[in-house]
Amino acid sequence: MAVYTEVSDDDLIDFIAQYDIGEVISCKGIAEGVENSNYLLHTDKDAFILTLYEKRVSPEDLPFFLGLMEHLAKKGILCPLPIAARDGEALRTLCNRPAALTSFLEGMWPRKIKPFHCSELGAALARFHLAGQDYATTRANSLSLSSWRPLFELCRARCAEVRANLGPLVAAELDFLEANWPTDLPSGVCHADLFPDNVFFIGEKLSGFIDFYFACNDALVYDLAVCMNAWCFERDRSFNVTKARLLLSAYSKVRPLSQAELDALPVLARGSAVRFLLTRLFDWLNHPEGALVKPKDPLEYAAILGFHQSVRDVTAYGLDRGTMHA
């Protein structure tokens, strides 16, 4: 979450007048994340999140995202619910941006990842994947393999501003991924961005997922690879095999992984690392002046990529080969 577009008091009052949610008490920008402008809105009836969609979010994708949240909530997955205005529509316009209100999700995201967080996440992600199986609308992953080389080319000439050898490293890895990317894996709706700041906990229990604006149809185990990279590396960029084992084993108890998925996991983890390295690199090199959010370090994901390049099979992730699949 972040703030790129400032909303005036008058614009806010006119916008909220389209809803039956009470009178505005306060509206405060949330300076976390990198993609959209988000505000915590309090009325005399309840609390809400106001989102103005920016940057990589295409307006034509918004019905997919908002509909997915409604679908998941009906299936018992804890997530924000889009709020319809008086005309029955949730998607609106504010400050010349597509905008929507969603319900406020209770909980806090974990600043320090502990093993129980990973176990809770694994089981919840598997439930999410199962709940999404009958969601009829589809959306291709716009930040999958085919997008990575074009994104790299936008950054290639300036890679050395971040690290001297970064350009050649990414170019070589893209060659590998394009030659080895797995196909025909079980697929479905993926969140595709389940970083710790998108997962809320109350105590030791996961209380819900937020920020579905990269959700898409892709290999389900790719979503698991994204989570492993985001949750199982320490701040010194070392890999925590205990956290990975808990994440993967908790997931497989709810949705068993096929042998093909287990075999593909190291390559998918490399791909996930490249995806976030490149989007962070682009944001680092093209940071909007005046934005309240600080761009994230792309070199964190260069280090994660380096670890996965040394992995030969899932035993490196704390698993006994062949014991977790369906």
Hey, what's the torsion of the CAs at 279, 281, 286, 287, to 10 degrees?
90
Of 63, 83, 103, the one marking the end of a domain is 103
Which one, of 72, 65, 277, lies nearest residue 171 by Cα?
Answer: 277
Residues 34, 158, single domain; the answer is no
**For residue range 238-251, what is the model confidence (pLDDT) as tens digits?**
999 999 999 999 99
Q: What is the pTM of this model?
A: 0.91
The answer to whether 187 and 220 are in contact (CB under 8 A) is: yes
Looking at the domain assignment, is residue 3 inside a domain? no
SS3 42: strand
Residues 229, 169, single domain; the answer is yes
Looking at the domain assignment, is residue 49 inside a domain? yes
Residues 212, 306, single domain; the answer is yes
Strands 187-190 and 92-94, sheet pairing: unpaired
What is the pLDDT, as a whole number, of residue 34?
58
Q: Which domain holds residue 178?
A: 115-317
Token pair listed for 149 = 């080389």
Residue type, 153: E
pLDDT bracket for residue 324 (50, 70, 90) = low
SS3 2: strand
Q: Determine if residue 192 is left, alpha or beta; phi over 0 gives left, psi from -120 to 50 gives alpha, anything else beta.
A: left
The answer to whether 214 and 68 are in contact (CB under 8 A) is: no
Reported as type and span, the H/E element at residue 100 is strand 97-103
Look-up of token digits 């970083």: 195
Find the mean pLDDT for residues 177-201: 97
Token pair listed for 210 = 């937020």
- Greater confidence (291 vs 18) lies with 18
Total count of domains within the chain: 2
Phi and psi, residue 95, nearest 5°:
55, 40
Reported as type and span, the H/E element at residue 112 is none
The answer for residues whose C-beta is within 8 angstroms of residue 290's C-beta and 6 or more apart is none
Find the mean pLDDT for residues 73-79: 95
Residue 266 pLDDT greater than 80, yes or no: yes
Cα(312)–Cα(309) distance, integer angstroms: 8
For residue 82, give the CATH number of its domain: 3.30.200.20
Residues 83, 162, single domain; the answer is no
For residue 132, give the CATH number of its domain: 3.90.1200.10
Look-up of token digits 């990414």: 170
**For residue range 124-154, what is the model confidence (pLDDT) as tens digits?**
999 999 999 999 999 999 999 999 999 999 9
Residue 48 pLDDT greater than 60, yes or no: yes
Of 64, 79, 103, the one marking the end of a domain is 103
Residues 65, 201, single domain; the answer is no
